[in-house]
Amino acid sequence: MNADGLLALLPLLLITAASVVVMLAIAVRRSHRLTLALTVLGFLAGMLVLPISAELAPVTVTPLILIDRYSVFFMALLFAGGLAICLLCYDYFKAWDGEKEELYLLILTAILGASVLVSSNHFAAFFLGLETLSVSLFALIAYTVRRKRALEAAVKYVILSGVSSAFLLFGIALIYSQTGSLSFPEIAQAMTGASQVMEVIGAILIIAGLGFKLSLVPFHMWTPDVYEGAPVPITAFLATVSKGAILAMLLRYLITTEAYLYEPLNIALTVIAIASILIGNWLALLQKDIKRLLAYSSIAHFGYLLVALVAGAIIGPQLMIETVSFYLFAYFITSIGAFGVVTILSSPQQEAASVDHYLGLFWRRPGLAIILTAMLMSLAGIPLTAGFVGKFYIFVAGAEGNLWLLLMVLIAGSAMGLYYYLRIVLAIFSWPQEQVRATYQTANPFLSQLTVTLLALLLLGFGIMPGPLTELIQAMAKTLD
């Protein structure tokens, strides 16, 4: 390793250092505010040095890690997402009578694992990053351990995470048996007609394993229970940071090894995408709990993203990267913003999970009501929001790839999504009933409100003027193509 390698790794090293500093600070003196401050400083330091890594990119740091503009872009997204979640956690857990400080340590280690995932160029780094992320998530989901549902959710996630790891390892083993390598570039070079069959089978098993992590149908059964049982900010973390890192890594693998060109793999992805869009939206229609509704809708959203992966064989890797990157960026903003409003209205003792909690919200908390409405409209793909631009990207990718069946399914799924998102919006602007008037939290958490307000501004800003972001993503995509 040389000086360039160390400088390129600086964001990861700073997040690692922040984890150690937070751990030592907790051992010396327990302070919720101090721990948050150190965590925020760690994330800000990591973001400040990302331009240095981008300037040096691409840098191969040992055969395991590749720091390029693709990984830098997603690390920036992960760091910003982790920072927003920490700010939401501070107000949410402030009145909780348990120990709060370890929560931020777990978030830092989870972000570290996610950052390794998006930078991995080798199956060893991929698996280390994935397990670092997963182990942190186990504890985060069960953090309010005295709540029965939190413990149940964590146990379900642990068991199914073990199953997904078995699929992943079996798929990796098949690929290694034929190519003799775990490095993505070397796997691509070792591909021959004889070994392609095992490569495709291995890739399908890997997608099955990652399907658990991405909660794609038919691997989705854990999602609503885990989303419902986890604390609200951690649910936001699961829906965005965890899934986003895994999809970014999968996209890099498909492009580097050119596995996106294999027809059997595309057939499998097509079936999963159709099932995820239709079943995810249909089950969301039946929900009266907003966390379960957003859980099922997240299944549909990642089904939409698979449309871009299936179209990759025709549209090429660059448009595929642009589509997935912009959609994930918009999804991060909208999901964290929507869960952020739920967080403000909730506490560890009583969560505002039922749709009935939002009856007449506009007449009591107009600012929050408008922000939540904007987030829901973005998830539905309404114009002038970042979600609309992201869905437009998906539609263009599907049309360019002549995926008319998938496009019809996407339109049908979007129509169902519009219905259940509007149902919440109607509840928000309806006149509140007497029996629900006392269900709202009356506190005004400054950090959480600041976070959701900034997210709403980003949502509208990139919805109205997406040009700067699309140019950045296009420049990044060219480096991986």
Q: Could you give the C-alpha distances from 350 to 96, 137, 139, 439, in angstroms and in order?
A: 11, 22, 20, 9
Mention every residue, 6+ apart, whose C-beta is less than 8 A from residue 434: none
Residue type, 1: M
Give the global pTM.
0.93
Cα–Cα distance, 217 to 302 (Å, whole number):
10
What radius of gyration do the chain's Cα atoms show?
A: 21
Give kind and range of the element (H or E) at residue 36. Answer: helix 32-48
Give SS3 for 62: coil
User: Among 302, 311, 210, 197, which residue's Cα sits nearest to residue 253?
Assistant: 210
Q: Where are the domains of the chain?
A: 3-480
> For residue 466, is it left (φ>0), alpha (ψ between -120 and 50) or beta?
alpha
Residue type, 235: T
Q: What are phi and psi of 221, to 5 degrees?
A: -60, -25
Cα–Cα distance, 379 to 309 (Å, whole number):
20
Cα–Cα distance, 199 to 211 (Å, whole number):
18
User: Among 133, 140, 161, which residue's Cα sits nearest to residue 223?
Assistant: 161
Tens-level pLDDT at each residue, the chain (481 residues)? 678 888 889 999 999 999 999 999 999 998 889 999 999 999 999 999 999 988 887 888 888 999 989 999 999 999 999 999 999 999 888 878 878 889 999 999 999 999 999 999 999 999 999 999 999 998 999 888 777 788 888 888 888 888 888 999 999 998 888 888 888 888 888 775 545 777 788 888 888 888 888 889 888 888 888 888 889 999 999 999 999 999 999 999 988 888 888 888 889 899 999 999 999 999 999 888 888 898 899 999 999 999 999 998 888 888 999 999 999 999 999 999 999 999 998 877 777 878 888 888 888 888 999 999 999 999 998 998 999 999 999 999 999 888 899 999 999 999 999 999 999 999 898 876 654 544 445 456 888 899 999 999 999 999 999 888 898 988 888 777 5
